[in-house]
């Protein structure tokens, strides 16, 4: 049953009053019995027709009650589960004590983008997986809601004025940052704080990387990304958009001709993979990247005014089971498709998408077609999609990834009637920088090879994020940015 924000907030007020009376004497058993605070969400029937954020955020009372669920265990396994090592128990303790300024200061020592990470990190496979509370209650979904608490304090800071970072005296050194996703944002901020000049080059007309063009508004409001970008501008970072390094200017020239002392490459993994099946070039087949970029960045949902509107779909299939597939399916629902099928060749258990996104997709009416896959796409005489040839699978023995391998069931072919197909089966790295910088070493997937400081095979050239890891996560990209920034700062100190 969907509970309104008002109901959840009122429950928390009562719970907090009681807990405050017993604050000094709360035992571990008491803390384990505090009810997990549900995230207030927009009603599924309303949100499926608007682009507004689904999760509405905790009230201060909810946040404090949730923070009191943390037993402050000595081993702190949650910290080991966080790719950037945030002191999670300390920031949560500060929330319980209602010291929100201290809480955000603790988070910011390790993470630069808490409002983003609190919303999109896969906490259930990171910090919350190791939470002692979840383990004691034998259910990872009952772990302390670390991500929601991180989001809460980050939003509190945004509403109460973000502290401006101190910038050291100008050094006269210049660093080029290519791309403007989370890896690059982190490098730009860390390097600029040291007093170095930073110029960021972005191929699109708006900076922010996947945070801007990929992850939809209903999961990550663009105003939050925009605020991070404005923070960089306030620090004195210069951002040049519509600038494709490799085409507008070669990477090598940035150093040899433009006087940059170091370069960071954070160009991400934006090259969509396709199924390579018959009919994939028909009208009505999109990569998830194209579909989401058109909707998020080019405002394709505004059909009357958009330069690149998307077709109106009656019945649509999304191929894939990750966050990108969920985002595409949920976006299609909001654009008015009557039927949205999510076609995945394994089962829900193997789906890599965040648990919350899967639950939200289902609530919004996405139909999950598990153990099925597309064999081909069929069209009419005008080259428009009319259906998708599918086949059913069953699970066999585990493959190299440890997941049970889907095995085709002979004779199970059928045609799914759809007018649109969105392929969301993964992304590779963009080959442009490699093609135009031949000496830059990459692996067989085209990812840039770096050492353990983030340095590439070229002098003064560093890289990080998806272009190094392959399609990964925001927090890992941020962590990679931190590492490369530290190495760049060290290189510039040695050469000064
Ligand atoms: C739809 C979608 C949903 C996702 N959901 C989640 C999620 O819920 N949680 C999560 O943790 N992760 C999620 N991810 C993954 C996450 O967004 C990425 O791992 C992360 O953004 C990678 O950051 P990055 O800085 O390496 O690159 P990106 O964010 O990809 O940014 C790279 C930027 O470089 C620019 N660029 C590329 N080539 C050039 C060039 N030659 N010159 C100039 N600029 C260039 C691109 O235009 C882009 O703006 C999602 C990804 C997608 C696509």
Whole-angstrom distance, CA of residue 144 vs CA of residue 103: 16
Which of the four pLDDT bands, split at 50, 70 and 90, describes residue 400? Answer: confident
Is residue 303 pLDDT above 80, yes or no? Answer: no
Mean pLDDT over 215-222 rounds to 95
Residue 298: per-residue pLDDT: 82
Ligand 1 pocket member 297 (CB < 6 A): no
Give the strand pairing for 420-423 and 315-319.
Answer: parallel
- Comparing 67-71, 257-261, 296-300, the range with the smallest average pLDDT is 296-300
- The residue whose CA is least distant from atom 21 of ligand 1 is 210
- Give me the CATH topology for the region 174-270+429-494: FAD/NAD(P)-binding domain (3.50.50)
Residue 307: per-residue pLDDT: 82
Identical fold between 5-160 and 174-270+429-494: no
Whole-angstrom distance, CA of residue 309 vs CA of residue 125: 36
Q: Is 273-426 assigned to CATH 3.30.1280.10?
A: no
Percent of the chain at pLDDT exceeding 90: 85
Ligand 1 pocket member 202 (CB < 6 A): yes
Q: Which residue has the higher pLDDT, 74 or 494?
A: 74
Q: How far, in Å, from the CA of 338 to the mean position of ligand 1?
A: 30
169: CB partners within 8 A, 6+ apart: 195
Ligand 1 pocket member 271 (CB < 6 A): no
Ligand 1 pocket member 355 (CB < 6 A): no
Ligand 1 pocket member 88 (CB < 6 A): no
Q: How far, in Å, from the CA of 139 to the mean position of ligand 1?
A: 32
**For residue 291, is it left (φ>0), alpha (ψ between -120 and 50) or beta?**
alpha
444: CB partners within 8 A, 6+ apart: none
Helix (H) or strand (E) holding 368: strand 367-370
Q: How far, in Å, from the CA of 84 to the mean position of ligand 1?
A: 18
Is residue 204 pLDDT above 80, yes or no? Answer: yes
Model confidence pLDDT, tens digit, residues 91-117: 999 999 999 999 999 999 888 899 999
- The residue whose CA is least distant from atom 19 of ligand 1 is 473
Is residue 493 pLDDT above 80, yes or no? Answer: yes
3-class DSSP assignment, residue 334 = helix
CA 117 to chain centre: 7
- Comparing 186-190, 296-300, 364-368, 441-445, the range with the smallest average pLDDT is 296-300
Residue 9: per-residue pLDDT: 96
Provide the whole-model pTM: 0.93
Model confidence pLDDT, tens digit, residues 453-492: 999 999 999 999 999 999 999 999 999 999 999 999 999 9
Q: How far, in Å, from the CA of 379 to the mean position of ligand 1?
A: 32
| Angle subtended at Cα 340 by Cα 408 and Cα 214, rounded to the nearest 5 degrees | 95
Whole-angstrom distance, CA of residue 119 vs CA of residue 331: 17
- The residue whose CA is least distant from atom 14 of ligand 1 is 473
Whole-angstrom distance, CA of residue 161 vs CA of residue 227: 11
Tell me if 350 sits within 8 A of 404, measured CB to CB: yes
Pick the CATH number of 5-160 from 3.40.50.150, 3.10.20.580, 1.10.1060.10, 1.10.10.10: 1.10.1060.10
Is residue 351 pLDDT above 80, yes or no? Answer: yes
Which residue do the tokens 């008015």 mark?
A: 336
Mean pLDDT over 133-137 rounds to 95
Residue 71: per-residue pLDDT: 95
User: Domain map of the chain by residue range?
Assistant: 5-160, 174-270+429-494, 273-426
Closest residue by Cα to residue 59 from 145, 152, 158: 152
Cα first-last separation, the chain: 63
Model confidence pLDDT, tens digit, residues 153-165: 999 999 998 778 8
Q: Work out the number of other CB atoms within 10 angstroms of the CB of residue 54.
A: 22
Ligand 1 pocket member 34 (CB < 6 A): no
Residue 267: per-residue pLDDT: 97
């Amino acid at each position: 049953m969907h509970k309104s924000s008002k109901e959840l907030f009122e429950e928390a007020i009562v719970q907090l009053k009681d807990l405050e009376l017993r604050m000094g004497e709360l035992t571990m058993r008491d803390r384990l019995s505090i009810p997990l605070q549900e995230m207030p969400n927009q009603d599924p029937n309303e949100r499926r027709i608007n682009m507004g954020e689904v999760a509405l955020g905790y009230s201060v009372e909810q946040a404090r009650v949730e923070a009191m669920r943390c037993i402050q265990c000595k081993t702190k396994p949650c910290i080991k589960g966080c790719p950037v090592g945030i002191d999670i128990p300390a920031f949560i303790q500060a929330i319980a004590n209602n010291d929100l300024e201290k809480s955000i200061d603790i988070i910011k020592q390790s993470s630069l983008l808490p409002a983003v990470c609190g919303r999109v990190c896969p906490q259930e496979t990171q910090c919350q997986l190791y939470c002692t509370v979840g383990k004691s209650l034998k259910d990872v979904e009952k772990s302390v809601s670390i991500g929601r608490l991180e989001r809460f304090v980050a939003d509190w800071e945004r509403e109460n004025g973000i502290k401006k970072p101190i910038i050291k005296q100008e050094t006269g050194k210049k660093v080029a940052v290519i791309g403007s996703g989370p890896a690059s944002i982190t490098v730009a901020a860390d390097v600029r704080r040291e007093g170095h000049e930073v110029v960021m080059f972005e191929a699109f007309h708006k900076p922010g990387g996947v945070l801007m063009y990929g992850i939809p508004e209903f999961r990550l409001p663009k105003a939050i990304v925009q605020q991070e970008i404005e923070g960089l501008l306030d620090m004195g970072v210069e951002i040049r958009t519509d600038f494709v390094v490799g085409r507008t200017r070669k990477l090598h020239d940035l150093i040899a001709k433009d006087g940059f002392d170091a370069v960071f490459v954070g160009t991400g993994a934006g090259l969509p993979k396709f199924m390579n099946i018959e009919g994939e070039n028909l009208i009505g087949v999109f990569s998830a990247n194209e579909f989401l970029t058109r909707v998020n960045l080019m405002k394709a949902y505004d059909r009357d005014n958009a330069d690149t509107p998307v077709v109106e779909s009656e019945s649509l299939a999304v191929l894939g089971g990750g966050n990108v597939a969920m985002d595409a399916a949920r976006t299609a629902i909001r654009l008015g498709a009557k039927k949205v099928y999510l076609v995945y060749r394994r089962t829900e258990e193997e789906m890599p998408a965040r648990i919350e996104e899967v639950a939200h997709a289902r609530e919004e009416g996405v139909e999950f077609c598990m153990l099925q896959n597309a064999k081909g796409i069929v069209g009419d005489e005008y080259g428009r999609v009319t259906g998708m040839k599918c086949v059913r699978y069953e699970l066999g023995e585990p493959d190299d990834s440890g997941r049970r391998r889907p095995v085709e069931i002979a004779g199970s072919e059928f045609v799914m009637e759809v007018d649109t197909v969105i392929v969301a089966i993964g992304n590779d790295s963009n080959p442009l920088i490699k093609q135009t910088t031949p000496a830059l070493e990459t692996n067989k997937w085209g990812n840039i090879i770096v050492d353990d400081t983030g340095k590439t095979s070229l002098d003064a050239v560093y890289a990080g994020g998806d272009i190094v890891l392959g399609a990964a996560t925001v927090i890992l990209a941020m962590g990679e940015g931190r590492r490369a920034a530290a190495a760049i700062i060290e290189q510039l100190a040695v050469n000064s």
